[in-house]
Chain A
Amino acid sequence: MKAYLTRRYLFSASHRLHNPAMSAEQNRSTYGKCNNPHGHGHNYVLEISVSGQVNQATGMVCNLVELDTFVQNAILERYGHENLNMLPEFGHKVPTTENLCMTIYEILQRGFVLAHLERVKLEETMMNSFEYAGEGNRMIS
């Protein structure tokens, strides 16, 4: 039987929203406060949903320890307490939470093979969050 498992993680990072292809004025009008050259930070809440048949022998979709270990090594250690603008993946991409959400989805999609990745949700603050389920995929709710 197919079940969906969701796990939440927390990391803190800083960023600045700025596109060098736009003028200073355009950057300010597009990104507002987020364009402050010194950057600012968030406590991000990352919600990862995976799915699969429940293994009869273990009662699990996938072993949580293995999911936690992968997320810890590939995501939390990479982004936790970092300035996102300094990382190579955001060298030519604005580290909006949309882009970070999609980047995290790609990391999981490539590297975590023990269950089917359904969706990545990233909360930037308690008031706004972003979700990505892959190109063209509809989210199940």
Chain B
Amino acid sequence: MVYLTRKAEFSASHYYHNPEFSPEENRRVFGKCNNPNGHGHNYTLEVTVKGEVDPQSGFVVDLKDLKEVLNQEVLDAFDHRFLNKEVPEFLDRIPTTENLAIAVWQRLAPKLKAAQLHRVRVYETPDLFVDFYGEA
């Protein structure tokens, strides 16, 4: 079994708000991130897949295919978007880094053919990242 990791970057804006909370509760729980006008990050995404090395190609996965799926399923949808308003998952789910990692997993897992998704890591900043390994 070999693990392969592909990185990508996207920039997007978001804010944290739960409509079931009072305005005070939203401010208390989410602090500055509750500003309804949003704020942005340069996200770095790391997608790790695993599989046996194909004896013919020497690949775990064709990187071109992985890149295409990543572009179509994730980057085209997230890059330069206001996540709360433009990405369907986040119309009713708060676009925290945790939920972003889960959403990336859910978008990629059904589309990957040769290799199996192992880990999705989303960096919100270089000092904060979330890992998701699928539903435990």
Chain A 119-141 near chain B by CB (<8 Å), digits 1 or 0: 00000000000000000000010
Contact call A58/B132, Cβ cutoff below 8 A: no
Q: How far is the CA of A58 from the CA of B29 in the complex (A)?
A: 8
Which residue of chain B lies nearest to A4 when distances are taken between CB atoms in the complex?
A: B131
For A51-84 the 0/1 string (1 means CB < 8 A from B) is 0001001111101110000000000000000000
Q: Which residues of A sit under 8 angstroms from B29, Cβ to Cβ?
A: 58, 63
A3 engages B127 (CB within 8 Å): no
Interface residues of A (CB under 8 A from B): 1-9, 49, 54, 57-61, 63-65, 140
23 A-B residue pairs with Cβ-Cβ distance under 8 Å, sorted by A, are A1-B132, A1-B135, A2-B136, A3-B98, A4-B130, A4-B132, A5-B98, A5-B129, A6-B128, A6-B129, A6-B130, A8-B126, A8-B128, A9-B127, A54-B96, A54-B98, A54-B102, A58-B94, A59-B16, A59-B94, A59-B95, A60-B96, A64-B128
